[in-house]
Amino acid sequence: MATLTRPRPRRSVPIRLLAVVGAMLVVVVVSQVASHLGTPTSPPAPAPVVVDPLRPAIDDLDAGGINVAGADAGSDAGTATDHGVSDVARIKADIEFWSGRVARDHDDFISSNRWGISEIELARATGDLSAFLRAEAAFDTTLARDPHNDAALGYKGSVLVSLHRFVDAAALARTILGRHPSDPVALATLGDASLELGDLPAARDAYAGANDVARSAATLGRLGHLAFISGDAAGALRATTAALALADSEGAEGERAAFYHYQLADVLISTGDRVGARKQYAAALTADPGSFLAHSGLARVAAANGDFDEAIRQLSAAIAIVPQPEFLARRGDLFTMRAAAGDAKLAADDYATVEAIAKLAGEAAGVYDRTLALYLANHGLDPARAVALAGAELTFRKDVYGYDADAWALLAAGRPADAESMMSRALAFGTRDAKLLYHAGMIANALGQSDRARTLLRESLALDPSFDPLQVARARATLATLR
């Protein structure tokens, strides 16, 4: 567990920020106490007895045989009601059930593994990273008794990816694969970690292996993400569309179902299809009304359409679920751009919260290094710190966005030549991402390469003018000076 750096009280920190931070702390502390290993837990409340009013107790059969055309429909879609609302409640009940069994018998590896998986689900559904730490503790409970428990090792690897411990995750996955070369969980984890570390060939091999042995939405979605990073937008669209269809037949619900809609939406919007993206973000929100990702996606669409009120409303919904620094920074930008009465103060509050979160995270603040570097560079704040943060992360995480963040921070620090050197490495990945093209264009402009800057900025805006409202406005303004 990380120790915490106690921040100095800041007079400029607004009351609202303190309220947000306080609420987050309460959430974290309460959830840590609730599933503490040694805490005896009460059994889940009995389920209500509900009699289905729609059908008689006995379904009579037409003895002559029944035409069952349609009975083999290939979808798990149902007549939906308001499912999804209780997903977090269900996950918390699972956590109580499995952690309670572990409390009674620490040797019960089945329960400790399932407890860990439930914590991962909670972290994904709520954005509460402390659940990942509890997941790690649960898997470590299994591993303390059985260091070779591959299920625990495999899922622990996925937790390490989520905690940005990519090098550890890859090493752990390779340990499992040494014994079981086709373990799909380990292959997926190795792929995830390799992708984040910038080793695309390793990611490709691992994902292909996982897809061979366990073709599923989870493997196709990963291949889709890899295709996008590799610059194959058409392949990304195919794979994420297929992943969504497969997720449906796999019976994915709640956060899991929402994820595949969200992922497809991200590919669509990154290729300029805001209408298609909006539909998928909305579908994600229907599948999981608590999907903060879906809210953030809808905000992105609204902002690109110039509807700042709606964008702010959607981001506020996301922030109410989980106050991610990215959401706060984006909302601050939208307040700045809307410039209605009081918006300047609201923007300042959001910006202050971004930094406070990173500070409060203590040693775990590494999770936010890249986010913070980009935030500082985007807002002309403390360029030396932005360069230090991005550069430190780049020492081990050499992915496309690592080079990009470093380049953007270097430009903010007034080092466009160094920035270009880093940006060329980012562009070498081939990723078709408007943000990268924008950064490259602004770097070219700073170097006086007007033609190149014009081309890159035009390309960026043509590809996806939704990537960041404030930066898109800057791209347009810069382009205007180049005409």
Partner 1 sequence: MRSPRKLIGGLGLLAVAGTVAAIGAGPLLVSGADHLDSPLVKIDARVDITDVYAWRTSASTTTLAVNVNPLTAPADTKGARFRQTALYEIKVDTTGDAVADIAYRIKFSNLTRFSDGTNTQTFTVKRAIGAAARRTEWTGTTVAVGRTSRYGGTNRIAAVAGGGIAFAGPRDDPFFFDLVGFKHLKSRVLAGRQDLGTANDVTNCALADDDASARLLSCFTGSDTFAGTNVSSIVLKLPNAKLGGTGHSVGIWATTAIQTKSGWQRIDRMGRPAINTVFNITDGEKDLSNLVNPADDRSTMKDTTVAVLNALSAVVVHAGATGYTPAQINAIANTLLPDTLRIRLGSTAGFLNGRKPADDVINAEFSLVTNGALTSDGVNANDKAFLSAFPYLAAPH
Please list every residue from 288 through 347 that binds partner 1, using CB under 8 A.
289-290, 293, 320-326
Type of residue found at 243: A
CA distances to 156, 185, 277, 303 from 466, rounded to whole Å, are 35, 34, 11, 7
DSSP 75: -
In the structure encoding, which two tokens stand for residue 14, read together? 């607004």
Segment holding 404, helix H or strand E: helix 400-412
Which token pair is 101?
A: 């069994």
3-state secondary structure 228-248: HHCCCHHHHHHHHHHHHHHHH
Which of 2, 234, 340, 428 is in the footprint of partner 1 by CB under 8 A? 2
CB of 38 vs partner 1, minimal distance in Å: 17
Distance CA 76, CA 80 (A): 11
Which string of x and - marks every residue 58-77 that binds partner 1 (by CB under 8 A)? Answer: xxxx-xxxx-x-xxxxxxxx
Q: Tell whether residue 88 is a contact of partner 1 (CB under 8 A).
A: yes
In the bound state with partner 1, the residue whose beta carbon lies nearer, of 148 and 345, is 148
Grouping H, G, I as helix, E, B as strand and the rest as coil, residue 437 is helix
The residue among 193, 217, 221, 196 whose CA lies nearest residue 206 is 193
Q: How far is the CB of 348 from partner 1 (least distance, A)?
A: 18
Q: Distance (Å, rounded) from C-alpha 423 to C-alpha 431?
A: 12
Q: How far is the CB of 195 from partner 1 (least distance, A)?
A: 8
- The distance of closest approach from Cβ of residue 126 to partner 1 in the complex, given in angstroms and rounded to an integer, is 7
Is 4 a binding residue for partner 1 by CB under 8 A? The answer is: yes
Closer Cβ to partner 1, 71 or 477, answer by number: 71
Q: Would you count residue 158 as binding partner 1 (CB under 8 A)?
A: yes
**Which positions from 346 to 385 touch partner 1 by CB under 8 A, shown as an x/- string?**
-----------x--xxxxx--xx-xx--------------
Binding mask 418-457 for partner 1 (x = CB under 8 A): ----------------------------------------
Between 206 and 302, name the residue whose CB sits nearer to partner 1. 206
Stretch of residues binding partner 1 (CB under 8 A), selected from 96-104, 270-278, 453-461, 474-482: 96-104
| Pair of tokens at residue 357 | 């979160």
- CB 196 → partner 1: shortest distance, Å? 6
Binding status of residue 146 toward partner 1 by CB under 8 A: yes
Cβ distance 386 to 373 under 8 Å? yes
Is 85 or 234 the residue whose CB approaches partner 1 more closely?
A: 85
Distance in Å, CB of 124 to partner 1, minimum: 7
Which is nearer to partner 1, 256 or 425 (by Cβ)? 256
- Please pick, from the candidates 35, 41, 99, 130, the single residue that binds partner 1 as defined by CB under 8 A: 130
- DSSP output for 143-168: HHH-TT-HHHHHHHHHHHHHTT-HHH
DSSP 187-222: HHHHHHHHHHTT-HHHHHHHHHHHHHHS-SHHHHHH
CA–CA dist 364, 368 (Å, integer): 8
Q: Which position among 7, 178, 306, 414 is part of the footprint of partner 1 (CB under 8 A)?
A: 7
